[in-house]
């Protein structure tokens, strides 16, 4: 019997969680969370972790299962998820995955590229240079060593250029291997023991932005300020370089007023949603639905896809 992974993608606040629960209930299966910020125990409100009621409505995996102090890479997630799916498919040949982290979705659907082992000395030297010279050093290095990758990131995913962890990884592969990071991409076809059925949710931009603004207001009502305040002493952790927390950290630092911090959260979340859509629109064989589409119509589409296999 063939296995199927129904994957729900789309921008933040579009309604992915609600749809994934309806799908899981209909097909009597589990839900794999593919939102990289919902992994962390300490980050609940600001990452829109499914409520207790939502988690009780269907079995969720990879929700708040690690700490912000734990190292956890997309490669770790790929390994853990594939191992879990192998177990879940024994019970039910249909499972659901949902999330807004495009890189993590791709890791499961396509597999991760193979990269050479890098000498720890190279890695440490790059870190030292970054600590002395800042993010500009990493950006300059990538632009010189892998201009194709730098240009693509700048055009499609510019926030990555501000992510020191990702940038150090790009640069260490370039220097440690003597080849551009991009030369190791898409070298192999990973074999998966399932067929993806990808469902995308979308809305008109004004609607999407209104939903985002409303969600931020609800997060603040639910206690986001207090949650950020508890995390503030550890604000330099990579996991906390996240919209909703960064802006409030700047408020605590005295750089922002509270009202300006809130407006920045909304603005940066809208920008994030736009980048999510740019990423997800490249997803192969994704079927896009308006966010108001009844779940029964999407279930009919899924059933048709399974019957046509």
* Binding-site annotation: residue ranges for ATP: 10-17
**Burial (Cβ within 10 Å: 0-12, 13-18, ≥19) of residue 94:** buried
Q: Can you say which residues are annotated as belonging to the binding site? A: 10-17
**Burial (Cβ within 10 Å: 0-12, 13-18, ≥19) of residue 246:** middle
Neighbours of 117 (CB within 10 A): 7
Which phi and psi (to 5°) does residue 28 adopt? 55, 50
Residue pair 281/201 in contact (Cβ under 8 Å)? The answer is no
Residue 202: which H helix or E strand, with range?
A: strand 195-202
Q: Can you say which residues are annotated as belonging to the binding site for substrate? A: 12-17
Query: For residues 181-203, b (16+ Cβ closer than 10 Å) or e, as one string?
Result: bbeeeeeeeeeeebebbbbbbbb
**Burial (Cβ within 10 Å: 0-12, 13-18, ≥19) of residue 71:** exposed
């Amino acid at each position: 019997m063939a296995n199927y992974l129904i994957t729900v993608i789309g921008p933040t606040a579009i309604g992915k969680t609600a749809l994934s629960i309806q799908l899981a209930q209909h097909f009597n299966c589990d839900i794999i969370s593919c939102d990289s910020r919902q992994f962390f125990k300490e980050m609940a409100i600001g990452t829109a972790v499914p409520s207790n009621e939502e988690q009780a409505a269907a079995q969720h995996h990879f929700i708040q299962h690690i700490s912000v102090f734990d190292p956890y890479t997309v490669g770790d997630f790929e390994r853990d998820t594939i191992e879990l799916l192998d177990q879940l498919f024994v019970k039910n040949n249909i499972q659901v995955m949902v999330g807004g982290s495009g890189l993590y979705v791709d890791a499961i659907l396509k597999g991760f590229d193979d990269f050479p082992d890098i000498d720890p000395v190279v890695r440490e030297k790059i870190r030292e240079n970054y600590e002395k010279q800042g993010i500009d050093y990493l950006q300059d290095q990538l632009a010189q060593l892998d201009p194709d990758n730098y240009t693509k990131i700048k055009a499609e995913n510019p926030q990555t250029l501000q992510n020191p962890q990702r940038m150090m990884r790009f640069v260490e592969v370039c220097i440690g291997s003597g080849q551009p990071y991009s030369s190791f991409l898409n070298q192999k076809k990973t074999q998966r023991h399932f067929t993806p059925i990808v469902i995308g949710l979308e809305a008109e931009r004004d609607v999407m932005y209104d939903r985002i603004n409303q969600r931020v207001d609800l997060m603040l009502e639910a206690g986001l300020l207090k949650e950020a305040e508890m995390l503030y002493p550890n604000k330099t952790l990579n996991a906390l370089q996240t919209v909703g927390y960064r802006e409030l950290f700047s408020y605590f630092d005295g750089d922002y007023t509270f009202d300006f911090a809130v407006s920045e959260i909304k603005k940066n979340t809208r920008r994030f949603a736009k980048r999510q859509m740019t990423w997800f629109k490249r997803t192969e064989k994704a079927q896009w639905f308006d966010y108001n589409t009844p779940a029964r119509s999407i279930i009919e589409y899924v059933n048709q896809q399974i019957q046509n296999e």
